[in-house]
Structure 1
């Protein structure tokens, strides 16, 4: 196949037409990237199906080499560069999975890759991108600052800009996920897919609607970043905050992808942070697989809307597995707290010998394990002889903790459960 100039372009370029993203372009992308990306498993989850009341099938895109589906679109774009474009190199603005996918395959193909990231980007992300061959340039405080600088470097150095989502070549590559899913389970009723800029769901919806117009395409966004939801529905909504689903935390959705989504996606749902945390935790506990917040968004939507999806055969894309280990630990512990298996009890005591020992005896009687104890004598409104003790503890379930609290109150202790927000 003769290489054609890559159409990937930065902000301000003409918006591509819907005719540039078709089932044929996705099939062509699949042929190009064959053997260079992992054909990830598509597996039925018996336990998640029982929990949700739907038939859940999971596409494990977190098992790609860079742990995300983004490799597909990036490689599809790289393979359509001309010889001159390959020699000069490509550039992108990204602090996420796109940077790693583009850097990995660019290096593998001998194409120089420059990635512009904000100076605020966590060091681990910079190191991950550099480890797969990307040349990282830090500029600006925000993504928009980095994007603007990438556009400047594109012009100054004659580089080819590879957009993370708003381009038919990228979306065609991402659409190969749906081809593989429907090859395994052709009779899916519904696909529930995360939306950030919209590249993944644009490609997937193009495939699904072409092969079976009855497949329902449902997008999912974090409630803190409802940018595509607002654009499609013609609403004004604030975007911002610390979401677990940082991979889909996009304030400005794609112009091209929004046109595709308006035509080929049936609905968009929003999920809150506790739902995302629960989904990440369930996937690790049940499927023994590490998924980032964005990758768990589809499951979060199904868990949050059981009536809507009851009885349906649903395909979910676990689109990425790049999550900070400390953050993952926090998510798992917070989920245990919501289940009542971890608790913090705030108990008011008199500051005298034996006071804490008598409380400990009640914990022992109820077989509740103490993890940590915190004393507070100074910064309290209690009298000088009073103290507040916070006790973090572990139990089988919430009912066991409730029985302990009842026993403490029966002994005239003032007890408060410290709740998660």
Structure 2
């Protein structure tokens, strides 16, 4: 019997064309906006634009690699990845490097890593695996165990302290628990309990965290100190007006009034230069990505796929919502980057990994349909 080898293009096609079309278009638009904005924001930083392009490229490679992963492999890796993340968080608590009053990094000799970033992906993977194995009738203790699985890494991260990352990991897990069918009466009870616990939470917060909340309420009480970030960023956003001041023409950014303008406050640079119209376009692009992610989640091939895709999509939404909220003075400053816009390697790669898993879920659905 003679076996004919298929053409090369046919053999490599499944490994090349792995991206979901609409999602890829939205991400490409975001990357384009990101490059334009970073070129302006980083004009006074030698090498930062090059580093940003490198980080985006690395995130793209990670996204492509994750998009090629099959769903069974994701499920098998959920528990080991979660246990590895918890073990690294414990190692940080015991042996981690202290910088700026926080113990967040683990020195491996060759490089330093921030294990809390791993939990942003490991947490939804673990809980999606947990509920996949309990498909059908889910009892109250299934949700209780899921909550414990969530609280262990969240408390370890909050202890570092790293409130921003702890909130993001909490959100990642809570999204999975919600999509798994958590009863509304439990959700309402949790909200009431959370509001009742606010005084206790305030008493255990660090001083700098309390200052952030107070600056949200009245940033003018310390205009040259703790309130400086919020005041200057809101001035930049407002000074953009309807049409913006024009690319590279933002005075607040280029006169160095906007702090951290390439990282957490890059949205202030964009808003000043492109105005309300530009903000509307950026929001539409983010909504395109989020909407497509929810469509992929709704049509997932399994409970695991639907829960994971839904959580990843809403994590992306949370990043954008919290960052824009803190830049415009609606939310406290918690150090959350704007997805694919802010400078930063670790967060960029984490987002690339999550988006790659979303692409993989879409790809598996197409393979099942065909």
The normalised TM-score by structure 2 is 0.25
Q: Which has the higher helix share?
A: 2
- Computing the radius of gyration over CA atoms, which structure comes out larger, 1 or 2? 1
Q: Which has the higher strand share?
A: 1
The normalised TM-score by structure 1 is 0.23
